[in-house]
């Protein structure tokens, strides 16, 4: 166990070094004045901006996270229902699967203003946008997972007299878990980005609103601080989902 932890550290060391190197180059570029300071703030300035605005950033994060979470939960819920329906009724699948793919070609940024016009400046348009973007990877992940369930295993259960519901519970659902989680990871990242984008287009608080404000003030250091914060939040969410996945699929680590 200990050995494995050591080897993961060794695996991740190159990435950490590369990141540190990049930050160092960035700092040097700013120090030597290669790029003027008002266009590219140095990492030190970004950190200072982050610390200075910490309270404000956290307040806005809470709003954004709340939207993202709500959208994600509803997205997971509808995605699940849709996937189950498409799996149970091939007609539903034939009707809606192509439509689902088409909806994904509509750029989020293009429908966001419409949603604001329809639903106002409160939380509703944000949540709707997140549901629209997260629901797709989840539905596709689950539907594919259900479809890939082992046909022989299903036959075996049928031979034991299992009904449709039991086959779903014992075969289809557990076989779809890995795909579900890869869909969920993507959806989680989308949900944060979706929340920020919809906040740009109208709202009173949230990281997106903060972003538009500091942009109009040309506060580049704060811009960078909030951008980094957003990616950190996304990474943390994905890591959290990874942990849940590990806990729910212990058998994948059994082969040793």
Alpha carbon separation from 10 to 4, 17, 18, 120 (Å, rounded): 10, 11, 14, 50
Among residues 40 and 162, whose Cβ is nearest to another protein?
A: 162
Answer yes or no: are the C-beta atoms of 44 and 104 closer than 8 Å: no
Q: Find the binder of another protein among 56, 170, 182, 197 (CB under 8 A).
A: 170
8 binds another protein (CB under 8 A): no
Among residues 11 and 152, whose Cβ is nearest to another protein?
A: 152
Q: Find the binder of another protein among 7, 148, 166, 231 (CB under 8 A).
A: 166
Alpha carbon separation from 24 to 29, 157, 235 (Å, rounded): 9, 59, 22
Instruction: Give min distance, CB of 180 to another protein, in A.
Output: 13
Instruction: Give min distance, CB of 174 to another protein, in A.
Output: 5
Q: Cα(252)–Cα(36) distance, rounded to whole angstroms?
A: 51
Instruction: Give min distance, CB of 148 to another protein, in A.
Output: 13
Those residues with Cβ within 8 angstroms of residue 223's Cβ, 6 or more apart along the chain or in another chain: 211, 214, 215
H-only helix segments in 53-172: 54-88, 90-103, 108-119, 123-147, 151-159, 164-167
Among residues 113 and 178, whose Cβ is nearest to another protein?
A: 178
Q: Cα(226)–Cα(233) distance, rounded to whole angstroms?
A: 10
Q: Find the binder of another protein among 77, 155, 235, 239 (CB under 8 A).
A: 155
Q: Find the binder of another protein among 85, 157, 227, 238 (CB under 8 A).
A: 157
Q: Which residues bind another protein (CB under 8 A)?
A: 150, 152-153, 155-162, 166, 170-171, 174-175, 177, 249-251, 254-255
């Amino acid at each position: 166990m200990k050995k494995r932890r050591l080897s993961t550290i060794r695996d991740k060391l190159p990435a950490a070094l590369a990141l540190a190197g990049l930050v160092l180059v960035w700092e040097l570029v700013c120090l030597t004045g290669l790029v003027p300071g008002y266009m590219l703030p140095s990492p030190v300035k970004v950190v200072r901006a982050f610390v200075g605005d910490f309270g404000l950033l956290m307040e806005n994060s809470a709003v954004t996270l709340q939207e993202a979470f709500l959208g994600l939960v509803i997205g997971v819920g509808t995605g699940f229902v849709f996937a189950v329906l498409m799996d149970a009724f091939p007609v539903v699948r034939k009707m809606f699967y192509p439509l689902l793919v088409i909806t994904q070609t509509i750029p989020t940024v293009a429908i966001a203003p419409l949603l604001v016009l329809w639903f106002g400046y409160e939380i509703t348009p944000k949540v709707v946008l997140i549901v629209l973007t997260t629901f797709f990877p989840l539905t596709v992940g689950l539907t594919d997972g259900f479809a890939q369930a082992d046909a022989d295993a299903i036959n075996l259960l049928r031979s034991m007299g299992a009904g449709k519901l039991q086959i779903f519970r014992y075969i289809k659902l557990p076989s779809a878990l890995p795909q579900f989680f890869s869909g969920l990871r993507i959806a989680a990242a989308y949900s944060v980005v979706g929340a920020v984008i919809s906040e740009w287009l109208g709202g009173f608080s949230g990281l997106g609103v903060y972003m538009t404000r500091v942009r109009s003030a040309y506060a580049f250091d704060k811009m960078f601080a909030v951008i980094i914060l957003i990616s950190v939040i996304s990474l943390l969410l994905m890591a959290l989902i990874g942990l849940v996945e590990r806990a729910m699929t212990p058998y994948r680590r059994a082969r040793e």
